[in-house]
Amino acid sequence: MSEFEAEVRKAEKELEQGLMAVDNTATDDSVGKDEFLGDIKMQAQEYGHKLQDAAVKAKDFANEKFTQAGDKFKELSAKDPKELVEDAKEFARQKPGQTILISAAVGLVLGLILRGGRK
């Protein structure tokens, strides 16, 4: 199990522990018949369901992206370094503007990292 999956499982457990079932029976009839409290309970249940749905969607999205990143890493690690260099050259020939922007961004980040280390 990867570290990401362990964190997802931990978050699911914490979410389950944080959600409590709403008791529909009231101990006092005069308080239990309050319409306002009933509306709040319904809204709380609705938001709980929406939160669970959002958590499931986020988990699925993260798993999908994690899988794609793993596949891409396996693909890159299987290639010979000379192939990678040739692929980079071909990309630079096809998209010179984008190559310049990527190079500038990498240079900026490296400059900030190196400059930040001297402070």
- Structure-block tokens of residue 9: 């499982």
- Does residue 80 contact residue 87 with C-beta atoms inside 8 Å? no
In the chain, which stretches have pLDDT less than 50? 26, 30-31
Q: How far apart are CA 63 and CA 2, in angstroms?
A: 11
Contacts of 92 (CB under 8 A, 6+ apart): 99
Kindly report the pTM of this predicted structure: 0.42
Cβ atoms 2, 39 nearer than 8 A:
no
